[in-house]
Each structure stands twice: as C-alpha cells, then as structure tokens.
C-alpha cells in the first residue's frame, strides 16, 4: 500500500546510523533509547496504520534538558526528527521516516502544578489529555478540549494537531485553552512562550505553534486553562428518520441562537457499532441520531432542553431519550468516544475529518454516501455536528490492496467536496501525510509558500517532521 | 501619499509597487488606533477605507466576513439585527486616544482588541476564523476560512491578529459570532481592596455560574467607592437563579448589589473602553497582563516604588490598566514590578516617549530572533508598518 | 490493522486465532493509558499496543523470539486492563498467551532465569512441594538482604522469600460435609498455593455456602488450575493441569450433580473460565472444557445469586475494596463483591486508580520485583488515602502483595462476609494491632 509517497531516505544518514546512535547513546541512558529493529518496529506507525516507516532510532527523553540535547545533536548532524506523543494521530502525523530519529515525550508525564485561583495547570507535554481532568475533577474543574482519544492522547499531540472534541462547540479547541508552552527549537534552544497571562506579549507565537504538527519545535511543557465544571450536564439522544433531517436540525438549533455544550451526530451504521460496544441505550430503529448535551442547574437544563426539543420536533424527531443517571451519561459518552475503536470490530476504516459550514451538512452527508457507494464501499458517520466537523469512516479491508486504493480515493473525493462546500480538509486531526497532497485543493501556491516561509524561520533545513503537511514538491528552502 | 485601494488586487499592486521602489507603508483603517504602538514615519500610507462592506453573513452559521475597512458600527448593526454580537467585546480605542474616525473591523483584528468577555468567550484571535491579507511582497494570501474548526496547514490567522499590520495588510476578515444573551445582570461588591477584590473575582470565576466578565474599579476610579463587578449573561430563566447562587458564593465578600440590562451594559462598556482612566489625556497609560492572583502584589510593588497611579482591573485581575503622569522612569518601575509571568504594553504616551521606550514588552533574545524571522518571512523588505511593534522591525 | 501472514502460516489454528485478534486492533492506543507498565515506564514497548506490535512482528516473521521482545513481554503483568479498555474487543490475553508459548519454544533464557522459572513451575503448583518450600523460605527470611546481592536472580529470590507469610499457617481441619440427596452441590477449586497460604479463605466460603444449605463436594483429584505455568509460557504443563481438573470436575458434574465450580482466587477463575478456549483444538477435551468453563464462577458471583440471610448487626468497618485484575478485567466482575459487602453492612470505598494492578500478577512479583514493588507502593498509597479499617480483595496474590506493603489488614472478601454472617473473625484482623480491640463480635447467625 503506498499511494502516499514518503521522501527517499538520505543514504548518507543511513550509512552513519551507527555513529548517530552512538552519539545519542552518549546523551541518554539505555532505557531511553530504542535501537534494535524489533523494538523500533513498534514505533513505525501511529493510528494511520496503513502507512509505516521504520525510524532510525527512538529517543524517549525524561526532561527538557534531554530533549534539548538530542535536538541539538540531531541538528548538528543534520538528522531529521519526528516528534511523537502517544502516536494516536489519524493523519499519520507521527509516522517516522527511515532517516529520522523519533523523539517521544511519553516519559514526560507529570502534572507539575495546579493553580485553581488562576484556573491553570502546568503539565509536562506527555501527560494524557484525560489525566489532567482526572486530576482536577475532584475539585470541580476540568480541562475542556476532549478529543475522543483523550484517554490516550497527550497534550503534546493535542498541541501538535490543535485537537478538538465533542465539547469544543462551547469551550473551544486546544488553542483556545492553552496559555503557554515550553518548547525546544531545532537547535536545542529552549524557549518559553506565553505563560499564565491571557494574551501574548508580542506576536502570537502560540497561535502559530498550536497546530503546527511538530514542524516548529518540540513542546515539553504547557500551561493549560482549567474551567469550572457546570453544576450538571445531561446528554439527550434525538433519533431521526433520515440523516438529512438530523443535519437540518443541527443547523436550526445553532441558527436559533442556542449553543449547546456538544452536538454529536451518528448515522445508523455508527449507532449500531457503538451500541454493540457500549450498550448505552442508543435507539436502533432510527436512521440518524444526535447527542445533544446541555448543562447547568436542573431547571436550566430543562429550559434549554425544552427549546431544543421544540426545534427537533419541527424536524420530525422520532425518539427523544434523556440520560437519567450519571452512569447513563457515562455510557452515552463512552459509546460516542469509542466509536472509531469499536468500528474496528466490524472492519478496517479510514477516518476523514473535513469541516463544512453547518448549513451544508445535509448536502455533504448525502454526497458522502453517494461517493462511498460509488466505490462499492460502506461508510459510517459519527462526528461533531455542531461545528460541522465531519468524520465519515470509510469501511474496507486493509489486507486487500484494491480496496485500500478505493477507500483512499473515496476519502480524497470527500475532502475535496468539503473544501468545495466552503469548508476545509481537516477540522481537528491535522494534515499529516494523509491530506498533504490535497493541500493545493484548499490553498494556492502563494498561500502555501507563505506558510512554508514561516515554517522556515523555525526550521530552515526541513529537519522537523518534514514528510508532513506540505506537498513534497515545491518546498522552499530557508 | 495615501493610497486607498478599492479592490484587493489594487492593494496588492500598491504593495508590490512600494516593495519594488523600497517605499515604506503605514497601514491605516479608521485611524482610531494610530497612537497604539511605536510612532512610525513612512513614505506612504495604505488605507483600508476603500475596502468596505460585509461580504457574507450567515447568522445560522454564526459567521460573517467583511472587508477590512468595514466600520465596526456597520457590522454591529448588522449583527444586532439578527440578535448576534462580536463575542470578544472589542474595545473602542477612541476613548483613550481621542479622535473622531470610525474604527474598522480590520483594525480590531490587527490590534487583537479584546474586551471584558475575553475570559469567557475568547480573545479576538480565538474568534477570527479566517483572513485574507497582502504580504510585504504584494502577494494575496489567505489563511483559515469560515468554519469554526480548521487545522489545515500552518495557521497564519492568529499571528496576524495583534501583529499591528506588521506582517500584512489585511483585506478581509471572517469572525465567529454568538447570539446575544437574552439578559445580562451584574453583581457589584463594594469597598473591597485589591487583594480581596481579586479573591472575590477568583471565587466567582471558579464557580459554575459562567461569569462572563469580572472587573475591579478601586476607590476613586470612576466612582468614590471601590466596586468589583461580576457579569452574568444567559437565557432569561437562568439569570435570576445564577445571580442568587453567585451572591451566595460571594457572601464572604459582602452583600452584592445587582444592576441589570442597560445599566449593566453601560458599566461594561465603560470598563471595556477604560473610561475611568481616559482623562487626563496626557497621562501615561499602561496595559499589564499577569496571572490574576499576582495583580495585588504587583500594584503593591508599584506603590512601594513610589509610583503615583490609578489602576483598573479587568479579566478577574489578569488585565491591569495603569494610569500615571507621563515620565520615562515609570517604564522601569512598571516592568520591574512584573512577576516572571507578566508583560506590560505602553498604551498611551507622547510620541517622543513611545519612540524611546519599549512599547511592547521586550522579549528574550531567542524569541526576538523568531519575531524578526517571522516579520521577514511576511515582509522581507520591512515595508509594512516598520518599527510599529519593535524598533528596526 | 493490516497483517502479513502467509496462508501456510494461517493453516496453524493458533496462528489463525492470533491473526484474527491482530486484525481487530486498530492501533488507536487507548489501551496504553490504562496499562500499569506504560504508566510507570512511559515506553510504548511496555504498553499493550507496543506488545501487540512486537508480537505481530514476531509471529508474522515466523521468527524466534529475541531478547528485546522477551524483555517487554516478560514485563507484561497479564492484568488484562488493556482488554477492559479496548473498544475494538482485541483479545490480548489469547494473543499474549500465544506469544509466551512461542517464546518458551524459541527462546533460550539465561541459566539463572531458567532455574528460577523451573523452580517456580515445579513447586508452586503442587500443594505439598509448596508447603515444604514455604518452610525453607521462612528459614531463609533472615538472609533476604544477602540474597538480594546475589547476581541476576538475587533480587527475585529475595522477592520470593519476602512473600512468604510471617508464620506458616496451620492446616485447619475441615468439617466433613453432610450429604443429603436433594441438596444443591458445588465444588470449590482447592488449587495449589492458596490452601497452603491461607486455608481460612476456602473455609469461610464453605461456611457461607453451608448456611445457604449448599453442599461443597470434595473433588480429590483436582489441583492447580495451571495459570501460573500458563503465564510462564509452559503451555503443555498448563494444558496437562487443565485436563486433569476437567476430568475430575466432569466426573463430579456427572456423578454428583455439582451445579458450579466455585473459585475463590480470581487469578484461577480467569484461567478456568478460559479452559474452553485453551483446549478448543483438543478433540477429546474441547467439549468437556467448554462445559467446565461454563459452570465456573467466582465465589462472589455465586453468592450474589443466592439469597443470603440478612445481617442483623452491621459491622461498622470501612472497607477499601481492591478489585483484582483477574476479577475486574479477566472476568469483568465489578459490582458483585461490593454489593455483597455493602449488604453485609460494611462501608465500601472505591480505590482511586482502581483499574491498575497491584503488581502481584501470579509470579510476576517474583520475576519482576522492581516493577511489582513500584506498583505495590502506588496501590498502597492509593488505598491508604482512603483510611480504611480493612482492605478486601478476591485474590490470594493481591492479599500477599498488598499485605506486604501496609499495616492495614488485607482479607479475602468471603472472610468478611463469613464474619458478618456469623463466622469467626478473619485471622488477619485478629492479628491487626488496634483493630481487634474495637471489634464487635457478631451474634451467631
Ligand atoms: C480513536 C481515535 C479517536 C480520535 N478522536 C479525536 C477527536 O475527537 N478529536 C481530535 O482532535 N483528534 C482525535 N483523534 C486524533 C488524535 O488523537 C489527536 O490528533 C491527538 O492530539 C494526537 O495526540 P498524540 O499524543 O497521540 O500525538 P501523536 O499522534 O503522537 O502526534 C500528533 C502530532 O503532534 C506532533 N507532536 C507530538 N508530540 C509533539 C511535541 N512534543 N512537540 C511538538 N509536536 C509534537 C507529532 O509530530 C504529530 O504531528 C483521534 C484518534 C483516534 C485514534
Ligand atoms: S485499545 Fe484495542 S484497538 Fe486500540 S490499540 Fe489497544 S488493543 Fe488495539
Ligand atoms: S495485560 Fe496489563 S500489563 Fe499486560 S499489556 Fe495489558 S494492561 Fe499492560
Ligand atoms: S490461581 Fe494460581 S495459585 Fe490458584 S490454582 Fe491457579 S495457578 Fe494455582
């Protein structure tokens, strides 16, 4: 399988592998350096497993100083670097290259301090997203961005991809909830950008770094915003007879000036898959379902729900089912958040991530179905409807090269459709390698060149995660 | 010469011409924020005034796009008609700078002007979804788009927001908007000192009642008694309940008085625009960002250093406005009083002083190097607002 | 996940089963977050996803196991936390069992490692040998610091000795059960280590069952369930134990009409419930194994289905319930033990980070004492934060492991239940300083 190209590894680097490893071994203790082929193998991919590249070595530093030492060394030696968090990227953002050293931050996994009065926490970049909320939840706080992978993915990866999640409709994505980072630049210089203050001192460098897919530096610490939990939260399931009706209902709710905390969409195939895993009580006799979450006091939730139900009725809602307990709520979200994984029980999949204006949802959903069907494949849709961020899961058999090619072609068609409908290629998973070659569909050469010029300020030699984001041809040097 | 393009392509053409003849350009919108930043001398002025009008407004999608020169008033009127608003409550700088021009939406984006609601709804940069701009090469570049979630490519939107026109001449901006709250109510606590006020604001912001703004006006700033104001905005049904609950949270700080709707809106408008410190016009004005709980100590340090000043706290204490008689030494005092995690911007002072002092917080060498590199990546010949943020950049 | 097996490889049913498991893994990484070794070491190679990948590569390549692969598989506790987490239903247990067997067949461990493993495999599963060895270990206890300094195995031998209880438990005489034709009958697995270390546990179970008028049939021929050796990759030995137990139980089922095989050590329960899979390709045993697995249940599962008489005087004791991995992950039993304890009047507290292993994991604490020790300390820390009077759990391994790190008494859930229902106070409570003096004696039921 190989419709997405990787750059040819630099033979000079490959030839110097032993020296490079010896150099790294002088900087890191043995348990922080992975060099044997068997062991490197486990790092050859992320959650886009159809693509794999065995890295030259894997470094797992334990602190910023070690990260800096390794980066300075690689920079001096002209060795490429692929930063890695938990390796859950769906876009292949953390997939290595044969001539690159993977620098993983998984050992940087401590919460350094929590400051409730200022509503921030300082964490090492390798902490998992959920562990922050877990740590502050007993005191009534949480870290808002909640990618479905939050159990496993790291803040580092979230910063890399500017990750979002179901509750980002109200609370914003990663960039809106990060105040500062400690980052190691390609030459090993350590910089502190931002801090606990709410605005930048000069240029908004943080705005560049978040979402830069590991191309500007390696983040080792972050200051995140903590929010106070609402008094209560309740998800409600709305079942519809057609995906279009559900899509229209979403647009109507937003249009009516109601911004719920979360508004998630699942079509029938997705409902069936998730229900089988989570037993959350999803309605099985509907074509599409919305999970709408409201929060506040009991009366506030009732009042908001009444307004939402009123709109849903106008779109012919068939089933309305409120969560009745904390356990039910947990199950409803467990089902949603496990959707991708649970799909693995049924088939292999690739997950698209285009965003479209909410008014375009019904149209794009319909076209998506048609496109996938035209390739003779099946699709399950489960996504963040409130912000138009679609995740069609194209189901196929990865062991069949012909199906793999079809799935990818269908995926590309869908992403072009999203762009043409006024949206973009990726709403939260990032470009990685997966959408790299579609970038010209969304951006002009001038747009891309300007992005690359900024990139070059940080990494003029294209050493940091160089196979990603920008089409391999037409790259500009510093 | 002032160039007033009426089309984006003309703007690009003008910048290309300027670049090839090495002429520098000041970038201007409504001209209400020209005193923000270092004073600059340029060969020509490039105005966005000719690029005006809302290009797309989709109330049901909560977004609009407009040419950069569109007056904010026009946008607010259009939003108002659909019951929507700019969530980040941008400040109107005319109060502190004077002047009679009409602020433009491009100016808001360029200065990253965010008001009291920043703590809850995000800053200008959080709601700016897309920009089109002409870089220093005269190329028309777009970044972002009109959807709320977009991580495609390197994000050039945020770095342009608050870059004061040093990276590009913005031609079109797209913002996310939000429905206006049905009701707004403000709880006011009186006679708290800085320390207690910040504690009260922290307690309120750490409560589950979605406080959308928290500010403190010390005694003799906009009124004789000190006032600590906490705003609630929500559905009508919620406000009564939340006001009651929040008052309970704050009971240790005294009995809260309530003001509503128009009165509340007027108060927050005054806080947003720093009315209380606007006069006298020749006072020097600082804008300081710190972790909220460090605000009282910072103010105490200023007093200890013998600085005579008046201050106003917004963002729960995280944003401090400081007014004092103009003097060069104050800069040292203010910046030395910052803890490790704060920064200060000289918002208002005479041209002479703004030319000789650092208007924006000086940064360490590595960050300055990045800043200079980024500037050069957009504007290699340094023709766009040169020196506006940092001398020589 | 994509796989690359040849059709020749897939002809081997073991390989085919593993391929199916690998195919269902989507490499999402969710499991890494709840894996105890990843939590401690922060290296994907010591996480389920990493191990799955190592196994995939090893099996696909048809390669003998390498030292590197063995290192990471050996560090796996088989706690199965990853299986609870996995949304794709990846059967990690069967995969790692296959890998362990493959390692055992293709990898030559160094001499000391072999010796230690052989020692364990030849002593622990056999009640009498174990009893003898325990005597030796008690004798060795004063020499622990010395042992720790022996090269390579030293630490691990020391760990083994450390686990021996401070005094050799007395062999208690069992009351001979009354036999009546119409009584409900069950068998209780005696197994290997537990009756030696803590005879009080099964005794308590018997008393509880007797109160419900259920007869416990003695199945003389049964013995170790095979879990210990199974986890060491000694598949043949494990299957031999399994077959012996199956023969014994099938006879008891057919001739004495036992309705359940009750297990009081959840570690064993997970394995006995898996007999059906382990012997699926054995034409002589497949069906019998399936029957046995289907009748197997944990003592708390069984008790939960009974109507235990109400407890008249509630014991005012705060119990931290530690759910053994083999209980919550291996058998997905979560609420029953807590419900029973609550109904018996105890205040039950959930342990934070309760899904993480205590480090016992069969013989893991002997083979990987360092990681096991760190996990124990983490577990004890989490438990002690709750300030409980008593720690209850359903697995002998956890009792010994946790007991070695805290002064709070650790008992088996059934001991508490039996006590509440009129049985004697659990021996560990009697020994606990300060606790016994406050103890209210229950009225006899
Ligand atoms: C089942 C499943 C569900 C998902 N659901 C969501 C979802 O709801 N929303 C969402 O947004 N995403 C989702 N994702 C995608 C993925 O989890 C996110 O992109 C996540 O942020 C990646 O985090 P990670 O720690 O795994 O990073 P990795 O995958 O390891 O890396 C991600 C990117 O960040 C870079 N990076 C890693 N560490 C650093 C560092 N220290 N400094 C700089 N750059 C670094 C990498 O080079 C790479 O480009 C899902 C993925 C899966 C498998
Ligand atoms: S959670 Fe399951 S599907 Fe995901 S990586 Fe782990 S084993 Fe594979
Ligand atoms: S069984 Fe336990 S130790 Fe082994 S991989 Fe799974 S979670 Fe980790
Ligand atoms: S769980 Fe352990 S001790 Fe009990 S019978 Fe099985 S192997 Fe032996």
Could you read off the pLDDT of C267-280 as tens digits, one per residue?
999 999 999 999 99
Judgement on whether residues C274 and C153 belong to the same structural domain of the protein: no
Judgement on whether residues C80 and C140 belong to the same structural domain of the protein: no
**Boundaries of domain holding A293:** 233-340
Please give, rounded to a whole number of angstroms, the shortest distance from the CA of C43 to a CA of chain A.
7
- What average pLDDT does the segment B289-313 reach? 96
Cα gap B162→B343, rounded to integer Å: 15
Judgement on whether residues A12 and A74 belong to the same structural domain of the protein: yes
Cα gap C248→C98, rounded to integer Å: 26
Asked whether residue C168 is assigned to any structural domain, the reply reads no
Q: Which of these, A247, A207, A184, lies nearest to A392 by C-alpha position?
A: A247
Query: What is the pTM for the complete model shown?
Result: 0.93
Q: Which two tokens stand for residue A233?
A: 């939260």
| DSSP 3-state of A168 | helix
Please report, for the domain that includes residue A301, its CATH number: 3.30.70.2190
Judgement on whether residues A400 and A319 belong to the same structural domain of the protein: no
Interface contact flag, A42 C23, Cβ < 8 Å: no
**Residue B288 pLDDT exceeds 70:** yes
Judgement on whether residues C156 and C197 belong to the same structural domain of the protein: no
Cα gap A165→C374, rounded to integer Å: 34
Task: Please give the ipTM for the structure prediction.
Answer: 0.95
Lowest mean pLDDT among A359-363, A426-430, B23-27, C285-289: A359-363
Judgement on whether residues A53 and A160 belong to the same structural domain of the protein: yes
Could you read off the pLDDT of B65-112 as tens digits, one per residue?
999 999 999 999 999 999 999 999 999 999 999 888 899 999 999 999
Could you read off the pLDDT of A169-203 as tens digits, one per residue?
899 999 999 999 999 999 999 999 999 999 999 99
| DSSP 3-state of A392 | strand
Query: Ligand 1, from A82, A103, A130, A149: best to mutate by most atoms within 8 Å of Cβ?
Result: A149
Question: Structural domain tally of chain C?
Answer: 4
Cα gap A191→A185, rounded to integer Å: 7
Dihedral, CA of residue A450, residue A454, residue A455 and residue A457, to nearest 10: 140
Average pLDDT, chain B: 95
- What average pLDDT does the segment A325-342 reach? 90
In sequence order, which residues have a C-beta less than 8 Å from that of residue B119 and are 6 or more positions away?
Answer: A198, B205, B211, B212, B213, B214, B315, B316, B318
Could you read off the pLDDT of B68-79 as tens digits, one per residue?
999 999 999 999
Task: State which of A428, A446, A468 marks the end of a domain.
Answer: A428
Of the candidate CATH numbers 3.30.70.660, 3.30.70.2190, 1.10.510.10, 3.40.1800.10, the domain formed by B183-272 belongs to 3.30.70.2190
Task: State which of A200, A229, A258 marks the end of a domain.
Answer: A229
Q: Which two tokens stand for residue B242?
A: 């939340």
- What average pLDDT does the segment B246-265 reach? 95
Domain B275-356: give its CATH superfamily. Answer: ACT domain (3.30.70.260)
C81 — phi, psi (to 5°)?
-55, -35
Please list every residue in chain A whose beta carbon sits closer than 8 Å to the beta carbon of residue C38: 106
Is the pLDDT higher at C394 or at C126? Answer: C394
Position C196 scores a pLDDT of 75
Q: Which two tokens stand for residue A69?
A: 């030492």
Judgement on whether residues C349 and C320 belong to the same structural domain of the protein: yes
SS3 content of chain C, % helix, strand, coil (to 5): 55, 5, 35
**Residue B225 pLDDT exceeds 80:** yes
Asked whether residue A113 is assigned to any structural domain, the reply reads yes
Task: State which of C270, C303, C336 marks the end of a domain.
Answer: C303
Query: Ligand 1, from A147, A164, A211, A386: best to mutate by most atoms within 8 Å of Cβ?
Result: A147
| DSSP 3-state of A389 | strand
Position C126 scores a pLDDT of 81
Cα gap B166→B156, rounded to integer Å: 13
Cα gap A75→A207, rounded to integer Å: 25
List the single residue in A with minimal CA-CA distance to C33. Answer: A152
Asked whether residue C169 is assigned to any structural domain, the reply reads no
Q: Which of these, B135, B132, B257, B125, lies nearest to B191 by C-alpha position?
A: B257
**Residue A414 pLDDT exceeds 90:** yes
Which pairing describes strands C184-188 and B283-289: parallel, antiparallel, or unpaired? unpaired
C432 lines ligand 3 (CB under 6 A): no
Please report, for the domain that includes residue C243, its CATH number: 3.40.50
Judgement on whether residues A252 and A291 belong to the same structural domain of the protein: yes
Position C232 scores a pLDDT of 86
Asked whether residue A35 is assigned to any structural domain, the reply reads yes
Position C172 scores a pLDDT of 46
- What average pLDDT does the segment A335-351 reach? 90
Q: Which atom of ligand 4 approaches the CA of C269 most closely? A: 1
Average pLDDT, chain A: 94
**Residue A320 pLDDT exceeds 90:** yes
- What average pLDDT does the segment A62-71 reach? 98
Q: Which atom of ligand 1 approaches the CA of A83 most closely? A: 47
Judgement on whether residues A181 and A135 belong to the same structural domain of the protein: yes
Lowest mean pLDDT among A15-24, A242-251, A434-443, B349-358: A242-251
* Per-domain residue ranges of chain B: 2-179, 183-272, 275-356
* CA atoms within 13 Å, Cβ hemisphere of C35: 29
Within 394-423 of C, beta carbons closer than 8 Å to A belong to none
Architecture in CATH for domain B2-179: 2-Layer Sandwich (3.30)
Could you read off the pLDDT of C101-141 as tens digits, one per residue?
999 999 999 988 888 888 888 888 887 787 777 766 665 66
Judgement on whether residues A126 and A224 belong to the same structural domain of the protein: yes
Q: Ligand nearest C329 Cα, by number?
A: 3
Cα gap A377→B137, rounded to integer Å: 47
Judgement on whether residues A245 and A391 belong to the same structural domain of the protein: no
How large is the angle between the packed helices A401-420 and A361-374, nearest 10 degrees?
A: 160
Query: Ligand 2, from C18, C20, C21, C27: best to mutate by most atoms within 8 Å of Cβ?
Result: C27
Number of C-beta neighbours around residue C8 at 10 A? 9
Position C155 scores a pLDDT of 63
Cross-chain CB nearest to B149 (options A164, A422, A454):
A164
Q: Is A46 on the interface with C (CB under 8 A)?
A: yes
Judgement on whether residues C248 and C319 belong to the same structural domain of the protein: no
Please give, rounded to a whole number of angstroms, the shortest distance from the CA of B184 to a CA of chain A.
16
Cross-chain CB nearest to A50 (options C2, C31, C68):
C2
Question: Structural domain tally of chain A?
Answer: 3
| DSSP 3-state of A10 | coil
**Boundaries of domain holding C97:** 7-106
Asked whether residue A57 is assigned to any structural domain, the reply reads yes
Task: State what percent of residues in chain A have pLDDT above 70.
Answer: 99
Strands of chain B, DSSP E: 2-3, 25-28, 44-47, 54-58, 63-67, 84-85, 128-135, 140-144, 168-176, 178-179, 183-190, 211-217, 227-234, 257-260, 283-289, 309-314, 319-325, 343-348
Cα gap C199→C169, rounded to integer Å: 8
Could you read off the pLDDT of C10-64 as tens digits, one per residue?
999 999 999 999 999 999 999 999 999 999 999 999 999 999 999 999 999 999 9
**Residue C345 pLDDT exceeds 60:** yes
List the single residue in C with minimal CA-CA distance to A277. Answer: C87
Position C178 scores a pLDDT of 52
SS3 content of chain B, % helix, strand, coil (to 5): 35, 25, 40
Q: Is B277 on the interface with A (CB under 8 A)?
A: no
Q: What is the gyration radius of the CA atoms in chain A, in angstroms?
A: 22
Position C442 scores a pLDDT of 38
Judgement on whether residues A355 and A325 belong to the same structural domain of the protein: no
Position A255 scores a pLDDT of 81
Judgement on whether residues A419 and A298 belong to the same structural domain of the protein: no
Position C437 scores a pLDDT of 42
Asked whether residue C1 is assigned to any structural domain, the reply reads no
C396 — phi, psi (to 5°)?
-60, -40
Position C140 scores a pLDDT of 62
């Amino acid at each position: 399988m190989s419709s997405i190209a990787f750059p040819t590894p630099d033979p000079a680097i490959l030839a110097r592998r032993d020296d490079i490893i010896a150099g790294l071994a002088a900087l890191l203790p043995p348990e922080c350096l992975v060099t044997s082929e068997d062991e490197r193998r486990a790092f050859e991919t992320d959650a886009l497993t159809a693509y794999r590249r065995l890295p030259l070595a894997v470094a797992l530093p334990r602190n910023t100083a070690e990260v800096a030492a390794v980066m300075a060394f690689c920079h001096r030696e002209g060795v490429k670097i692929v930063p890695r968090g938990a390796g859950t990227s769906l876009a292949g953002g953390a997939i290595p290259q044969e001539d690159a050293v993977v620098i993983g931050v998984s050992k940087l996994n401590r919460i350094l301090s929590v400051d409730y009065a200022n509503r921030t926490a300082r964490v090492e970049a390798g902490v998992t997203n959920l562990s922050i909320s877990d740590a502050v939840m007993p005191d009534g706080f949480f870290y808002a961005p909640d990618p479905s992978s939050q159990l496993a993915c790291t803040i580092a990866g979230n910063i890399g991809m500017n990750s979002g999640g179901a509750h980002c409709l109200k609370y914003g994505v990663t960039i809106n909830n990060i105040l500062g980072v400690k980052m190691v630049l390609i030459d090993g210089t350590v910089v502190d950008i931002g801090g606990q203050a709410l605005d930048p001192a000069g240029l908004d460098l943080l705005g560049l770094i978040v979402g830069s897919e590991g191309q500007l530096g390696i983040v080792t610490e972050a200051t995140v915003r903590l929010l106070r939990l609402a008094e209560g939260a309740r998800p409600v399931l709305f079942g519809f007879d057609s995906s279009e009706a559900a899509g229209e209902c979403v647009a109507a709710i937003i249009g009516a000036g109601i911004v719920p905390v979360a508004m998630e969409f699942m079509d029938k195939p997705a409902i069936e898959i998730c229900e089988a895993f989570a037993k959350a009580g999803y309605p099985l006799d509907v074509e599409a379902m919305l999970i709408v979450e409201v929060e506040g006091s009991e009366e506030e939730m009732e009042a908001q729900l009444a307004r939402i139900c009123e709109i849903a009725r106008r779109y012919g809602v068939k089933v309305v089912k409120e969560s009745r307990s904390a356990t039910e709520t947990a199950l409803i979200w467990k089902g949603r958040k496990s959707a991708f994984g649970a799909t693995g029980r049924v088939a292999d999949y690739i997950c698209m991530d285009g965003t479209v204006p909410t008014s375009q949802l019904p149209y794009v959903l319909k076209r998506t179905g048609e496109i996938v069907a035209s390739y003779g494949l099946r699709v399950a849709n489960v996504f963040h409807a409130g912000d138009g961020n679609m995740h069609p899961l194209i189901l196929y058999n990865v062991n069949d090269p012909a199906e793999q090619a079809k799935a990818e072609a269908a995926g590309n068609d869908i992403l072009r459709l999203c762009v043409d409908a006024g949206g973009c290629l990726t709403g939260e998973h990032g470009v990685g390698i997966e959408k790299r070659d579609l970038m010209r569909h969304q951006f002009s050469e001038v747009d891309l060149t300007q992005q690359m010029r900024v990139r070059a300020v940080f990494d003029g030699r294209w050493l940091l995660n160089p196979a990603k984001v920008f089409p391999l041809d037409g790259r500009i040097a510093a | 010469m002032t160039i007033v393009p009426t089309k984006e392509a003309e703007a690009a053409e003008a910048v290309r011409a300027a670049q090839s003849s090495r002429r520098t350009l000041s970038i201007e919108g409504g001209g209400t924020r020209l005193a923000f930043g270092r004073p600059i001398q340029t060969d020509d002025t490039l105005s966005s005034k000719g690029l005006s009008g809302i290009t797309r407004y989709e109330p049901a999608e909560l977004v609009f796009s407009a040419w950069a020169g569109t007056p904010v008033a026009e946008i607010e009127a259009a939003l108002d008609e659909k019951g929507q608003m700019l969530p980040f409550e941008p400040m109107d700088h005319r109060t502190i700078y004077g002047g009679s021009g009409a602020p433009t939406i491009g100016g808001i984006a360029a200065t990253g002007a965010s008001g009291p609601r920043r703590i809850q709804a995000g800053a200008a940069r959080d709601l700016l979804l897309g920009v089109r701009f002409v870089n220093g090469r005269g190329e028309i570049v777009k970044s972002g788009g009109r959807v709320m979630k977009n991580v495609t490519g390197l994000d050039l939107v945020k770095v342009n927001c608050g870059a004061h026109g040093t990276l590009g001449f913005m031609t079109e901006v797209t913002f996310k908007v939000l429905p206006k709250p049905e009701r707004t109510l403000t709880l006011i606590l009186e006679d708290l000192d800085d320390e207690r006020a910040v504690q009260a604001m922290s307690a309120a912001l750490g409560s589950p009642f979605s406080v959308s703004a928290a500010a403190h006006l010390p005694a003799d700033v906009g009124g004789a008694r000190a006032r600590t104001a906490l705003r609630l905005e929500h559905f009508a049904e919620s406000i009564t309940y939340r006001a009651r609950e929040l008052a309970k949270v704050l009971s240790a700080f005294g009995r809260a008085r309530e003001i509503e709707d128009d009165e509340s809106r007027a108060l927050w408008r005054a806080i947003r625009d720093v009315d209380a410190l606007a006069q006298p016009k020749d006072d020097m004005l600082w804008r300081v960002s710190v972790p909220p709980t460090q605000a009282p100590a910072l103010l105490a340090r200023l007093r200890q250093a013998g600085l005579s000043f008046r201050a106003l706290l917004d963002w729960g204490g995280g944003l401090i406005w400081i007014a004092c008689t103009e003097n060069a030494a104050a800069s040292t005092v203010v910046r030395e009083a910052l803890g490790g995690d704060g920064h200060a911007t000289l918002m208002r002072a005479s041209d002479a002083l703004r030319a000789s002092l650092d208007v924006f917080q000086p940064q360490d060498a590595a960050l300055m190097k990045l800043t200079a590199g980024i500037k050069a990546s957009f504007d290699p010949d340094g023709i766009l607002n040169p020196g506006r943020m940092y001398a020589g950049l | 996940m994509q796989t690359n097996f040849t059709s020749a490889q897939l002809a081997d049913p073991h390989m085919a089963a593993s391929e199916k498991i690998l195919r269902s893994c989507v490499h999402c990484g969710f499991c890494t977050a709840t894996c105890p070794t990843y939590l401690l070491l922060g290296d994907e190679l010591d996480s389920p996803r990493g191990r799955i990948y190592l196994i995939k590569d090893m099996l696909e390549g048809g390669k003998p196991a390498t030292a590197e692969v063995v290192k990471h598989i050996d560090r796996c506790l088989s706690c199965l936390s990853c299986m609870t987490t996995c949304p794709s239903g990846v059967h990690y247990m069967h995969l790692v069992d296959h890998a362990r067997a493959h390692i055992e067949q293709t990898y030559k461990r160094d001499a000391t490692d072999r010796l230690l493993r052989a020692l364990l495999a030849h002593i622990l599963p056999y009640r009498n040998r174990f009893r003898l060895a325990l005597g030796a270990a008690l004798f060795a206890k004063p020499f622990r610091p010395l042992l720790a300094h022996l090269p390579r195995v030293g630490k691990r031998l020391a760990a083994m000795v450390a686990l021996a209880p401070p005094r050799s438990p007395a062999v208690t005489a069992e009351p001979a059960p009354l036999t009546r034709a119409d009584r409900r009958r069950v068998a209780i697995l005696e197994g290997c280590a537990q009756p030696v270390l803590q005879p009080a546990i099964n005794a308590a179970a018997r008393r509880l069952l007797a109160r419900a008028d259920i007869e416990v049939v003695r199945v003389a021929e049964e013995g170790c369930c095979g879990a210990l050796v199974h986890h060491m990759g000694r598949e043949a030995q494990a299957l031999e134990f399994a077959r012996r137990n199956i023969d014994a139980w099938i006879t008891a089922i057919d001739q004495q009409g036992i309705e359940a095989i009750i297990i009081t050590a959840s570690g064993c329960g997970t394995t006995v419930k898996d007999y059906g899979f382990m012997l699926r390709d054995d034409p002589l045993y497949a069906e019998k194994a399936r029957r046995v697995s289907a009748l197997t249940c944990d003592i708390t599962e069984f008790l939960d289905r009974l109507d235990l008489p109400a407890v008249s005087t509630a014991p005012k004791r705060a119990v931290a319930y530690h759910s053994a991995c083999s209980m919550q992950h291996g058998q997905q039993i979560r609420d029953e033990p807590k419900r029973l304890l609550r109904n018996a009047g105890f205040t039950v507290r959930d342990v934070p980070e309760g899904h993480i292993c205590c480090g016992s994991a069969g013989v893991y604490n002997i083979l990987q004492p360092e990681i096991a020790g760190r996990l124990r300390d983490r577990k004890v820390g989490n438990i002690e934060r709750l300030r409980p009077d008593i720690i209850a759990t359903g697995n002998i391994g956890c009792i010994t492991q946790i007991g070695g790190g805290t002064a709070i008494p650790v008992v088996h859930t059934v001991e508490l239940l039996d006590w509440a229902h009129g049985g004697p106070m659990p021996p560990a409570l009697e020994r606990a300083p300060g606790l016994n003096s406050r103890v209210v004696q229950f009225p006899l039921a």
